[in-house]
Structure 1
Amino acid sequence: MQTITLKMKLLSPNKGKLEKMIRMLEIYHQACSWFLAQAEALNTVSRAVLNRETYKQASGLFDLNRGTLQCAMLKALSARRSYLSRKQRGKKASLPKFETMVPVMVRQDCYSLHQLPSGTWVIKFPVSSGRSQIAVPIAASLYHVRKLIDLARGSCRQGSMEIWRDKGGEWYVSISLQYCCIKNDKKCQVEEYRKKQLHKLGYFPNIQS
């Protein structure tokens, strides 16, 4: 399995979408900090423990998609594990804090890619709880387009996505794509054949037109 990461700039969203994206970024940052504080209070790095003890409360506090909220929990646990690991090895370590904005991680089953009739690619993702989503156009280069076509044809699978805003106010996404690189792997060959047949029938499992 080979994984590559596409970093792509988003075209400027309209005012309504921009406000929703900024709000999502702020709430996600708050959620990461809150989960980190809860993990410290519970003295745990266990996802199961943190989920059991805090998730119901968190879902009422933070207006985020369920999958995105779980990603915030994992981000907090990762920071705590890193801190404890350094401390156990005798290295200098400060208590973890999310002092700056954190890129929002969106689970692979919570976003989708679409190609408009004009040829422009857009990415659709949730910005709050529930099922509502927004679609934002991507400034895709020829390299990006080739990779997105690979995804459409079933040559790879999409992984998680991250979205963030830089200091200049520009928005970016990074998407991981997983390629099956072992040509003689029978399981991969069967999956590749199945997706090619679906493609011939006009069905795109990952991308909708």
Structure 2
Amino acid sequence: MDTYVAIHGKNISHNPLSSTQAMSIDKLFPALLECFGIILCGYIAGRTDIITSCQAKGLGNFVSKFALPALLFKNMVLLDFNNVIWSFLWSILIAKVSVFVLVCVLTLAVASPESRYSKAGLYSIFATQSNDFALGYPIVDALYRNTYPEYLQYIYLVAPVSLMFLNPIGFAFCEVQKWKDHPERQQGKLQIIRVVLLQVISSCFLL
């Protein structure tokens, strides 16, 4: 028998043993196989020079500057913000910020003074960066397309958390390290702010 859970005034049906959800679980393995199969094909193509480094750079530029922005723009236009549970997005933001701050503080505490700032920035980015579109979207699509299709829209809202808020902080740490390594350049804080702003602007265009 279905049970109903009230979330933000909405009654959501939940039946963990339903046949629809069982079918969604069955689609998870093909989705994972497809994702990692494409990654493996790309690796083999690169190692065997089927796709040269120059061609790979061209494909990367096309995906990052044309295909991905067009996909994001289309889905953000079609996104229904009335059905978004904002507390869920806030919880993701808080979780990522907590991990980012924890990794950054621990790295600053234990890393060598010669490279502590650059390591703190890079390690924090690595700890919070996720491949939401290449891996996250196919998995969510396989699991929830038939039961909770609105979950797919969260992929387009979660991705900017790292790109717009956390990664620029990591870039700032890297610029601080560069400034400390070459103090004779006398670029100062304005140079750091300029580089970070350029990174934020480029992230906006990618979104």
Question: Computing the radius of gyration over CA atoms, which structure comes out larger, 1 or 2?
Answer: 2
Higher relative contact order (CA 8 A, sep 6+): 1
Q: TM-score range by the shorter chain?
A: under 0.3
Q: TM-score, normalised by structure 2?
A: 0.27
Q: Which structure: greater strand fraction?
A: 1
| TM-score where L is the length of structure 1 | 0.27
More helix by percentage: 2
